[in-house]
Amino acid sequence: MTLAAPLRTETKPQDLGLRCIACDATLAPTLVYRCPDCGGILEVVRQKPESRGWLRADFVADDITLGEGGTPLRELRSDLLHAGFKGRLLVKDETRNPSGSFKDRLVAASLSRAIALGATGIVSASSGNAGAAAACYAANAGIPAIIVCPDATPRGKLAQIAAYGAGLEQVPGHYGNSFEHAKRLCAETGYANLTATYLNPYGVDALRLVGQELHEQMGRIVPDWIAIPTSSGPLVKGVFQGFMDRAGEVPRLIAAQSEGCAPIARAFKDGKIDVAGWENPNTIASGISDPLQAYPEEGSLTLSLVRASKGVAYAVGDERIREAMIDLARKAGLFCEPTAAASLAAARDLFMNGTIGSTDTVVCIVTGHGFKDFAAHEGVGHSIHRGSRPL
C-alpha cells in the first residue's frame, strides 16, 4: 500500500512557546508532552489577538481542517431539565463535528502542529472518540495513524476507526493501559502523540474556541452554569479559557462524571486538592471512563479550574445518564451517546438537590453522537410502526 505524501503545512498562530504549569519553565514549541524538568503539564503560551477573537485558523491549518467547530447552541424546553425548572436550558451540540464529537477540535489543532514540526505519523490512545477523530484527520492528511483503545471500547467507535483505515490495537483493561501503550508506540515509531488528554498541549489550547463560541452565541452573556462531561478535563479548561479570553469571567462549571468512574468528583466531594486514581472503572459512559491512574495530576488541574469557577464536580448514576440520553433523543431530536448525556443528567440532579436555581441559565455540552454507541440505545422500549399501525 502506498500512502499519499504527507501534507506539509503551517498554522497561523503567533506561538510564544510552551510553559509548564507546575514549575513555570518555558520551552520552544516542539513535540514535547511533559516538562523535561519536573514532568508537569505543558500549555501553549499565545499572544492574544488585539482586534478580534481567536479564529479556527489560529490553531488549525487550512489543509487540515474538515470544518470542525462552529457547532450550534440550541435552546430546549425548560422542563427537559425538570418540571419545576423555570430558567433557560441550552445545549451546545458537538455531535455536529466531522467525526461526530468535540475531539475533532483537539485533533485538528494537534495534527496541524505535528505535521508542521515534521511528524510522519500519529498515535492516539483513546476510549473511542479521539481515536476516530485522529483516524479521520490522518486519512485526510495522508499520514499513517495507530489508534490504541481499551478492549471494552464500544463497537461503533471501533468500526469508525477501522473505516478510516487506521491501525487499531486493543489493550486489555482500563484506559490508562492504552495510554501507556501509546507512549511506548510513539517511542518506537517516532510518531507524534495525539492522545487527547492534557498530554498534547496544542490540542488542548484549541478548545478555548468552545468557550469563545458559547460566549458569542449567548449574546455575550455569561450563563450561570455550563455542564461538561469530564474525563481528564481538557474541555473544562477550554471553556474556562475561552470565557476568560472574551468576558474576563467564567460561568460556574460542572464537571460531570459517572458514579462508576469519578476520581475528580470524589476529590471535590472530599474537599481534596489532589485527585487520586480510580479503581475498577465501570460505567456505560465509555468516553469518561478514565480512572486517571497514570496521570492524576490532570484531574487535579481540572478540579482547580472547577473550584476557581465556583462550580462543582459531580458524579451521576448510569441509569440517570441513560434517562437523559433517551430524553435528548425523544424530546429534543438529539441522538447522542451516554457520555454526552452525562451533562444533562448531572444538571438534573444538581437542580433537584438545590445547587442549580429555578431561574438559572444552564448550558449542557453534548459531546458525542449516538452512532458512536448504538448498543446503548438498544432495548430502551421503542416500538416499530408500519404506516399508522403498530406491529
Q: 5-61 pLDDT, tens per residue?
A: 344 444 444 557 999 999 999 999 999 999 999 999 999 998 888 788 899 999 999
The percent of residues in the chain predicted with pLDDT above 70, rounded, is 93
Percent of the chain with pLDDT over 90: 85
Delimit the domains of the chain by residue range.
73-97+206-377
What local confidence, expressed as pLDDT, does residue 242 receive?
Answer: 96
Give the model confidence (pLDDT) of 102-128 as tens digits. 999 999 999 999 999 999 999 999 888
126 vs 308, residue with greater confidence: 308
58 Cβ partners below 8 Å, 6+ apart?
Answer: 11, 12, 13, 46, 49
Distance CA 31, CA 304 (A): 26
* Predicted pLDDT at 34: 96
Q: In angstroms, how far apart are the furthest CA atoms of the chain?
A: 69
Q: Quote the pLDDT of residue 175.
A: 87
How does the average pLDDT of the chain come out, rounded?
92
For residue 269, the surrounding DSSP H or E stretch is helix 263-269
**223 vs 89: CA distance, rounded Å:** 10
Query: pTM for the whole thing?
Result: 0.92
Question: How high is the pLDDT of residue 360?
Answer: 98
Per-residue pLDDT, averaged over 308-316, amounts to 98
How does pLDDT run across 224-260, given as a tens digit for each residue?
999 999 999 999 999 999 999 999 999 999 999 999 9
For the chain, the C-alpha Rg in angstroms (whole number) is 20
| pLDDT, position 389 | 39
Q: Which class for 310: exposed (0-12), middle (13-18), buried (19 or more C-beta within 10 A)? A: exposed
Q: Considering the domain 73-97+206-377, what is its CATH architecture?
A: 3-Layer(aba) Sandwich (3.40)
Determine which helix (DSSP H) or strand (DSSP E) holds 254, and give its type and residue range.
strand 252-258
Q: What is the pLDDT of residue 6?
A: 40
Q: From CA 19, how far away is CA 270, in angstroms rounded? A: 30
pLDDT in tens, 75-109: 999 999 999 999 999 999 999 999 999 999 999 99
Whether the per-residue pLDDT at 265 is higher than 50: the answer is yes
Q: Is residue 391's pLDDT more than 80?
A: no
* Residue type at 6 in one-letter notation: P
pLDDT score recorded for residue 308: 98
Asked if residue 135 has pLDDT above 90, the reply is: yes
- Supply the pLDDT for residue 372: 84
Return the pLDDT at 13: 47
pLDDT band of 364, cuts 50, 70, 90: very high
Checking if the pLDDT of 390 tops 60, the result is no
pLDDT tens readout for residues 183-196: 999 999 999 999 99
Q: Which three cell numbers stand for residue 203?
A: 490540542
Q: Residue 130: in which H helix or E strand, if any?
A: helix 129-141
Find the mean pLDDT for residues 266-282: 97
Whether the per-residue pLDDT at 203 is higher than 90: the answer is yes
